[in-house]
Amino acid sequence: INIKASDFWIDSIPGLPESDNYFNQWAGHINVDNATESNIFFWLVSNQFNQQRQKLIIWLNGGPGCSSMDGVFMETGPYRLSASNGTVSVRINTNSWYQYANVLFVDQPVGTGFSYTRDGYATSIFEARSMFIRFLDRWLTAFPQFRKSEVYLAGESYAGVYIPYFARAMLDWGKVRRFHCKTTTIGNGWMDPIRQYDSYLDFALQNQLVSGTFLDTMRADTEKCRQEYSKGIERLKLDVCEDILEQVLAESRSKDGLCLNVYDIRFKDDTPSGGCGLYSWPPGVLMCPSYFFLNQQPSVVTAIHATGKRTPWVECDSSVFNALSRDTTPPSYKLLPELLEKLKVLVFVGDKDLICNNLGVEYMVGNLTWNGAKGFANAPLEWLLNGYVVGLNQTERNLTYVRIFGGSHMPAVESPGQVFEMMNRFMGVSAPHAPTSNDTWVSECIDGTCDVSSFNHGS
């Protein structure tokens, strides 16, 4: 395949002040299947400060089918969007991971975000994995300088399914292509469905989210779910288990018709059609389509070489989701013991998330046997940052677990300083971090009682 880096060079970003256009970026499509016209979109941002050893973070959002443009504009990426009087502008994210590492944001599987396909949707994680490896193989043709980088495969939510499977494949493929995955990083990940489903009842009780007849039904639904899994067949999703969470949401609707936000229990929908956070989270996501088609012209889409996609960008693509909805791939946590023999793994979670809550992740770790022992032997340590206890952390036998106090399903949205510091430490970067004006959690939100409506979410 005949492609080169200059084909993907981004000259400038519309709406960004020229004084902020000081780092190198590339973006565009890589073909992964000619027969179905399947193309994966990427956006590569070069590191701001050079390191002794080059680092490459590959970032994947979840869904399945949700765009990594969430990562670019609302989480770990270089930008934040702002809206004023109907005009959307872009500014620099001072807590972006690109400061000390090159970051590659990937829209996958095909059909996600700016990626596209003609009916070549992945119907299993194995198919998605094959296309991802093909993408990396061809991407390295254009960017061979990254072959010797320390590679960190990172993502959140349903990327907790992708990442262990992708990392396992990269270990074999990387030996041939000399492209080595060093670590994996998973935030609020969907990895162990049975433990996650089982945690909903405990988390709801701990946070006083359910009571009365809703609680009775929730207990009954939890028992039905346990019985289903006791048959010995583990799946990424079981419909009977999905009913458990519905009782929490039903109780929240019964009070004022508005649903609890499953991604951050401090929020509720603004309208009855809010989808329990599905259609309005993270804050700022509704600005993305407006920005991509600035002034009703596809100026941003043209600038990032994404014009190959003929349909409008959406945050989460239903066709991708539906194609994977009956996937019978075993849960990804089963791969962790093998991966932990060869890689370092960071698992982090915001403790205000409901759908992939911290209890479920902690239950998974407590039941996991890796490198000769089960679970963690020692209690977690307090994580101090700028004089505040901002979370808990544990590291044993190649596994690091971080609980972020006040963090949502996407902790980098409202806890950018914590997530920035966490990743720098994990990469071994010595970068003293002084809180910026965006780090409202430092002074106001550590105890979880702050007025979250005042958060600066970049909107």
Active-site annotation, residues: 157, 353, 409
Chain mean position to CA 275 = 20
Q: Rounded CA gap, 276 and 270, in Å? A: 10
For residue 282, CA distances in Å to 190, 374, 408 come to 18, 35, 9
Bridge partners (DSSP) of residue 385 are 388
Q: How many CB atoms lie within 10 A of CB 281?
A: 26
For residue 356, CA distances in Å to 226, 293, 362, 368, 397 come to 18, 33, 11, 17, 24
Closest CA to 146 of 179, 170, 175, 177: 179
The answer to whether 276 and 261 are in contact (CB under 8 A) is: yes
Q: How many CB atoms lie within 10 A of CB 366?
A: 11
Backbone angles phi, psi at 399, to 5 degrees: -110, 125
Backbone angles phi, psi at 151, to 5 degrees: -105, 125
